[in-house]
């Protein structure tokens, strides 16, 4: 007997099911794709990170058509991870959906429960407290670090900010913006001393790392996302240098060490143009 339209699942659910069927076919041992069958969670991890950055780039460029496509690529990554987990009888795509729905409801008691909040800051405080409770519940040992759960695989700037926020939540933080600036100046002096003393490469790495960590601290006190700030700086440098290349080509020249003075001159002009 054919189901009537009223007995059909909603269109969005059918589309999700279609995605899961595509992933299942790709991973089918007899009829699947040899490349997809060869993959493991670890082997596709770099692709997942790449897709996440492509989502970020589409957002930064305000490119909605590209964002739609990149979000689809990222969703596919979730689906194929879930499929691999299901093959191992670990969990399914439905389990992933259930877990995130439960988490969002649990972490928003001011929306789905009877908790009252007065500000966005109070929401953030409640969120961090609930996350800490969840981390503690996951561990059997009685004493855990407030820094537990900050993923090692995060980009270094992102991880530095998260570690600093965790420490700041328990009062371990620089007092204000001026102290953050002073800390950068202190770390810069130590870098200069290390370079002047011709220290070994390990010590130089440590001192430069401390300086970068302090820069993240300053960004945090300014309310700026350090990772996004550096990405924006990369984009600005890229656009400006490419403009220099255009100017040089128009004059029958190319970027080269012999053109350093001209490139410096053009850089200042381009900075004013693209300010």
The one-digit pLDDT tens for each residue of the chain (275 residues) are: 445 455 666 677 788 999 999 999 999 999 999 999 999 999 999 899 999 999 999 998 899 999 999 999 999 999 999 999 999 999 999 999 999 999 999 999 999 999 898 898 889 888 888 887 887 777 655 557 888 888 888 899 999 999 999 999 889 999 999 999 999 999 999 999 988 888 788 999 999 999 999 999 999 999 999 999 999 999 999 999 999 999 999 999 999 999 999 999 999 999 988 76
Residues 6+ apart with CB under 8 A from 73: 51, 54
User: Which sign, positive or negative, has the C-alpha torsion 145, 147, 151, 152?
Assistant: negative
Q: Nearest to residue 107, comparing CAs of 134, 130, 125?
A: 130
Quote the DSSP letter at residue 32: S
Listing DSSP states for 175-229 in one string gives SSHHHHHHHHHHHHHHHHHHHHTT--HHHHHHHHHHHHHHHHHHHHHHT--HHHH
- CB 158, CB 227: distance < 8 Å: yes
> Which class would CATH give 11-102?
mainly alpha
Structural domain spans, the chain: 11-102, 107-144, 229-273
Residues 6+ apart with CB under 8 A from 74: 48, 51, 52, 55
Q: What is the reported pTM?
A: 0.69
End-to-end CA distance of the chain: 68
Q: How far apart are CA 102 and CA 216, in angstroms?
A: 33
């Amino acid at each position: 007997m054919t189901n009537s339209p009223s007995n059909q699942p909603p269109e969005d659910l059918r589309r999700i099911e279609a995605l899961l069927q595509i992933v299942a076919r790709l991973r089918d041992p007899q009829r699947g794709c040899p490349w997809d069958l060869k993959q493991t969670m670890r082997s596709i991890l770099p692709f997942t990170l790449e897709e996440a950055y492509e989502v970020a780039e589409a957002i930064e460029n305000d490119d909605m058509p590209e964002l739609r496509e990149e979000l689809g690529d990222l969703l596919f990554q979730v689906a194929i991870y879930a499929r691999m987990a299901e093959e191992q009888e670990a969990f399914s795509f439905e389990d992933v959906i259930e877990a995130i729905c439960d988490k969002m409801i649990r972490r928003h008691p001011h929306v789905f429960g009877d908790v009252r909040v007065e500000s966005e800051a109070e929401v953030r405080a409640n969120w961090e407290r609930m996350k800490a409770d969840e981390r503690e519940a996951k561990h059997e040992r009685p004493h855990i670090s407030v820094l537990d759960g900050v993923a090692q695989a995060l980009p270094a700037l992102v991880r530095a900010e998260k570690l600093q926020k965790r420490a700041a939540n328990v009062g371990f933080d620089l007092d204000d913006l001026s102290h953050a600036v002073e800390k950068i100046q202190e770390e810069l002096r130590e870098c200069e001393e290390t370079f002047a003393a011709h220290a070994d490469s390990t010590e130089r790495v440590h001192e430069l790392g401390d300086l970068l960590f302090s820069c993240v601290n300053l960004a945090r006190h300014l309310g700026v996302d350090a990772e996004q700030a550096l990405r924006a700086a990369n984009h600005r440098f890229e656009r400006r240098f490419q403009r220099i290349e255009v100017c040089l080509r128009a004059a029958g020249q190319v970027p080269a060490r012999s053109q350093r003075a001209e490139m410096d001159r053009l850089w200042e002009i381009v900075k004013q143009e693209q300010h």
